[in-house]
Structure 1
């Protein structure tokens, strides 16, 4: 029996898992690492922490799986995207990584948008906005604010590419990440060279890995150094993965036109699959070939979702009892006795793409308790998801059901709120660990066990349950949703008062 080692490199930890060819997870171990936050919505991590976490988690997961290390055939990783790393010639980090949720590069994002370059068609059809989260704005921030680091950097890449370098010694980027966040396009013929020229950043293209490998493609095998640290053979194939959310699409089995994927965790991401390209305001994409060959991906996203629940927990000094909060919150009517939450705690990705927008809790009274706020946060996140699906529908992309992966799948209440606020069924596969399952499918495909990613999905992704929207609650949420939509322009007008 062949086995596959995967890693889900997230915001708070890296989880290594071992899978068999039927998609069963045999071992799973998470190792945390630190994120340092500072003013200006900045968030950074030490890239070497990712590698240390991977080595520890992988060894322990293989031991837990009770298999011989020699039976591991391939490795594939799903990691956070927009996590930018600057490395010297020896592959050593020159500074902490600027992670995905860091939006310090807002001015640089505006500068990218101001170029009006053809490559910006993937941003609302060319009208933008451009997100401060993405690779080019962050690299431009480095060039402007830390020029000595930018000049010294031999490689500027992402979390995924740093791990590839540590595993294989190869400087290779994922077609998934470069299509999503570096304005690379197979339809357009490659790099956004003219955009970089217009912002005076042509040197960046030379610092990017020049080898691009599509998800499921074999990058190489483990280097002797990596094999020694992991306790594995140098014959183990390293198969290209990509952004955790997009690899999660594979793990959810969302591969056909018309399907919708909702990847949940610290943030939410919404994805659809189409055979034809289109661009429109309020959505990102479509991106060619970035997950499946000859298919396009349309995207929306919320920056803060599960991380808002974590924030509430910090405010409660570790006293938050999820079971108790859920039990009480279930008994509340939609609207939580007048509470309304804007979910922009770390800015807004879509449909507004406003890095300066912030979260809000509106309608508080002395009668409200923690479970009111707890549920209102879930409802606000549900409304944020609906706003994105509405933007997709306006562009002509309508889904019939939402397939959910990640943390929200553990909460029956949150799943029901998503179904009720969106007004469509929510499906949950047997495994909620979509990025890891997707990485396992890619590893098995790259190792030669499946002729295509689709074939791997059929064999390794197992169906689960389906939650239908409730007619009464959906109607109530329709009214509250209109109030939610009014929050953003109202709060923006307050923000802009000088």
Structure 2
């Protein structure tokens, strides 16, 4: 008896350039990651609020991780390649050589990172114009965007950089150019569109790919994460969004920072939230993007800077756990009969240690901690860790409520990114917002999103929406504990009071 011949499986490579590392994944047509690799990339901080990287370093890392994933699995042909990256600014001269974006003249450091805040005075002047275009960034441009950084270079590095520059790239666009050799970025391409031509022979060799591999138009990393989660088929999961349009979903990508992606059929202007942008993430839909400038970085900052951190590190190592798994277990030990969240009844955090991106759009806001004592042991570290996670979740609620007040109708949150691996972080977002949380089967949804771009460029799917539904798979549903609603409503009330008080203190101190 002759066995049935199975159809060959198609594979795609997704490359994600994050803040501190480059990652690649080999993803099949069903959205399963079959191979994964990562490599750290350098960050320079020559002075406070200045963060720089190297495009040569990043491209070399892209080539290394791509070759690694290809070598891990024997496949006949990889049909598509998709890139995503942080929205950092790459500067090269007319011969495409790196140009220094710093006073030191270090040409290797030719990227001003997304989280760089050097252009504070420039963004103030831009926002002071009250130009009508600012309505598309929530009414006020962020210092993390490219225009204020370009103005800073023009005013501070005119001869060494500005006048010598040949090309300014958003980092995702730089990667598409590096792979294809095409600088043209008009007409504007939708996510997943075929990116003009195949890889150049040089790029194909560097990446370890065949010259016939389709290269997709690239995306910002958070947008790729949105593609990887927001379109998953939810039938049979008893979720409120099951019988609602995809616009009822909010994608929350939680990493070094967090981004909140809401889509709509018609443009919605939301104060303090970026957008609306047509087809910026999902073709055919308008995108609004909220965000928190420091989330994973804030948690690390609070935990690693605490005097009890060495004790935590030693105990976590002794129990063969990472520090956050150990902290979560420690909170369970000290909670007694209370729900874990109630341990912070007298401890409150305002999380804007790196300014507020959304919905207040205020770079000048600072972090606040209320309720400290003289105790500096491991219990206290666990409590401030918990309060920080709650503050981030309360910030998400603040963004969510602002989106809904403007006209979005959101019933379900779809979380991905590194922080979505932390069950305490996820549960707090469910409890604080009162919304069910959907987690992907593949935790690395940003990489799946990048691979979806490559899959669409290859022509294997009729649309991005079809690829999202087929390649995005649900892993776990986390429901909110509604019995704790009153407690988190009170925490939210305090949360909003904190920023109100901070502004009062600032007003008092003005003119001193």
Give me the TM-score of the superposition, normalised by structure 2: 0.85
- Give 1:411's aligned residue: 422
- Give 1:73's aligned residue: 79
Task: Compute the displacement of 1:110 (Å).
Answer: 2.0
Q: Confirm or deny that 1:215 pairs with 2:191.
A: yes
Decide whether the 8 Å contact of 1:329 with 1:374 is kept in 2: no
Task: Compute the displacement of 1:313 (Å).
Answer: 4.5
Decide whether the 8 Å contact of 2:191 with 2:279 is kept in 1: no
Task: Compute the displacement of 1:314 (Å).
Answer: 3.5
> What is the 5 A alignment of 1:174-323?
210=186, 212-219=188-195, 220-254=197-231, 256-315=246-305, 316=309, 319=313, 321-323=323-325
Task: Compute the displacement of 1:283 (Å).
Answer: 2.1
Decide whether the 8 Å contact of 1:16 with 1:29 is kept in 2: yes
How far, CA to CA, are the matches of 2:285 and 2:94 in structure 1?
36
Task: Compute the displacement of 1:108 (Å).
Answer: 1.4
- Give 1:180's aligned residue: none
How far, CA to CA, are the matches of 1:455 and 1:133 in structure 2?
33
How far, CA to CA, are the matches of 1:123 and 1:232 in structure 2?
38
- Give 1:171's aligned residue: 183
Aligned CA distance change for structure 1 residues 45 and 259 (closer, same or farther; 3 Å):
same
Decide whether the 8 Å contact of 1:161 with 1:172 is kept in 2: no
Spell out, residue by residue over 1:87-125, the C-alpha distance to the aligned partner (whole angstroms, 9 max, x if none).
Answer: 11222220231111111212211222233333222133x
Task: Compute the displacement of 1:337 (Å).
Answer: 4.8
Spell out, residue by residue over 1:261-308, the C-alpha distance to the aligned partner (whole angstroms, 9 max, x if none).
Answer: 111101111111111112132322111121223210112110000111
Spell out, residue by residue over 1:303-340, the C-alpha distance to the aligned partner (whole angstroms, 9 max, x if none).
Answer: 00011122234323682722220112243343525211
Unaligned runs of 5+ in 1: 174-209
- Give 2:329's aligned residue: 327
How far, CA to CA, are the matches of 2:506 and 2:43 in structure 1?
28
How far, CA to CA, are the matches of 1:90 and 1:477 in structure 2?
56
- Give 2:234's aligned residue: none
What secondary structure is seen at the aligned counterpart in 2 of 1:77? strand
Of the two structures, which has the highest relative contact order with CA contacts closer than 8 Å and spacing of 6 or more? Answer: 2
- Give 1:91's aligned residue: 96
How far, CA to CA, are the matches of 2:56 and 2:263 in structure 1?
35
Computing the radius of gyration over CA atoms, which structure comes out larger, 1 or 2? 2
What secondary structure is seen at the aligned counterpart in 2 of 1:22? coil
- Give 2:124's aligned residue: 110
Unaligned runs of 5+ in 2: 1-8, 101-108, 232-244, 317-322
Spell out, residue by residue over 1:131-171, the C-alpha distance to the aligned partner (whole angstroms, 9 max, x if none).
Answer: 10001111111111111211111001111122122211111
CA RMSD between the two structures: 1.8
Task: Compute the displacement of 1:419 (Å).
Answer: 0.6
What secondary structure is seen at the aligned counterpart in 1 of 2:217? strand
Decide whether the 8 Å contact of 1:344 with 1:359 is kept in 2: yes
Give me the TM-score of the superposition, normalised by structure 1: 0.88
Decide whether the 8 Å contact of 2:247 with 2:409 is kept in 1: no
Give structure 1 regions of 4+ aligned residues with deviation exceeding 6 angstroms.
none
Spell out, residue by residue over 1:370-412, the C-alpha distance to the aligned partner (whole angstroms, 9 max, x if none).
Answer: 1111111100101111111111111121201111111222111
- Give 1:380's aligned residue: 391
